[in-house]
Structure 1
Amino acid sequence: MLLGILLTIHIIVCICLIAVVLMQRSEGGALGMGGGPSGFMSARGAGDLLTRITWILGSIFFIISLALTLLSGRQGASDSVVDRMKVEAIDPNKLNQPAQPAPTDPNAAPPPLSAPTPQVRNPFTGDAEGAPAAPAPTNP
């Protein structure tokens, strides 16, 4: 229940953070670089407001991300992977045994056909592998 609520808040914060970052100017100087007295309605004041909102939403984003990680880790930590495996049911005598062939049924469909094996050629002579090698050229 708590994870669902936190995840919903997290998604809302993510969408708001994306919107605030996209509203900022792309000329740089954001995130509190520089400063000075400025009014709220000036371009500089609007930039400062968006910068503060970005910092606040970014902080909330990281805090909720950390909380979600910790809570989901504790929820899944109740069972170990080894505890979930049924180790007692494994018979060590059957582990390295070859696979038993399936019983043949005369009414069963025939196995699927496979593609023919490609003929491999020697890259130096161009002859098929297994064919007699061509005599080497002689220089007069």
Structure 2
Amino acid sequence: MLFAVLLALNIAVCICLVGVVLLQRSEGGALGMGGGPSGFMTARGAGNLLTQVTWGLGIAFFVLSLTLTLLSGRAHSGDSVVDRIKVDAINPRELNRPAAPAPAAPPSEPVQPARPGPLQAPTPTLRYPFAPAPAGDAPAQP
């Protein structure tokens, strides 16, 4: 619950921060755009207010982001992905074992459709493009 509230607050602060930054007057020099006096907010007091609001929202954004990171780290601190899927319990010899043939059913019972066997992993092959070609596969010289 706390995580969801902080995340919503962080998103709201982020949207406000973007809006305040876009309201600020350009100082010039950015891609050749000038900062002439015909801007939306040209008074020096408005510039100071927007600067202070930007600093406040920036600090709030970083504090909320750090808090969310710490909270999410504590929620999953005791286990890893490997612990959750229990890789240690998998026997690699059983992964590529062929399916055992099904016992023959007595003729008096109806024939059941065969179930598919376990998946077979493909045999890995190494393809190195810079390896010298075998002697029999050498291209003919013109």
Please give the range of the TM-score, normalised by the shorter of the 2 chains.
Answer: 0.5 to 0.7
Q: Decide whether the 8 Å contact of 2:25 with 2:42 is kept in 1.
A: no
Which sections of structure 2, spanning at least 5 residues, go unmatched? 29-40, 101-136
- Tell me the equivalent position of 1:133: 141
- TM-score normalised according to structure 1 size: 0.56
Instruction: Tell me by how many angstroms 1:86 deviates.
Output: 1.9
SS class of match (2:13): helix
Following superposition, the deviation at residue 84 of structure 1 comes to: 1.6
**Residue type matched to 2:141 in 1?**
A
Give 1:53's aligned residue: 53
Alignment of 1:13-92 (within 5 A): 13-27=13-27, 43-91=43-91
Deviation at 1:27, TM superposition (A): 1.1
The percent of aligned pairs where both chains have the same amino acid is 59
Q: What is the one-letter code of the residue matched to 1:3?
A: F
The one-letter amino acid paired with 1:90 is I
Structure 1: which 5+ residue stretches go unaligned? 29-40, 104-128, 135-140
Across the aligned residues of Structure 1 and Structure 2, the Cα RMSD in angstroms comes to 2.9
TM-score, length of structure 2 as denominator length:
0.55
Shift in Å, 1:77: 1.1
2:45, 2:63 → 1: CA distance?
27
Q: Distance in 2 between matches of 1:71 and 1:57?
A: 21
Of structures 1 and 2, the larger Rg is shown by: 1
Q: Distance in 1 between matches of 2:73 and 2:88?
A: 27
Cross-structure match for 2:12: 12
Distance 2:141 2:67 in 1: 72
Is the partner of 1:6 in helix, strand or coil?
A: helix
1:70 is displaced (CA, Å) by: 0.1
Provide the rounded CA distance (Å) in 1 between the counterparts of 2:72 and 2:10: 14
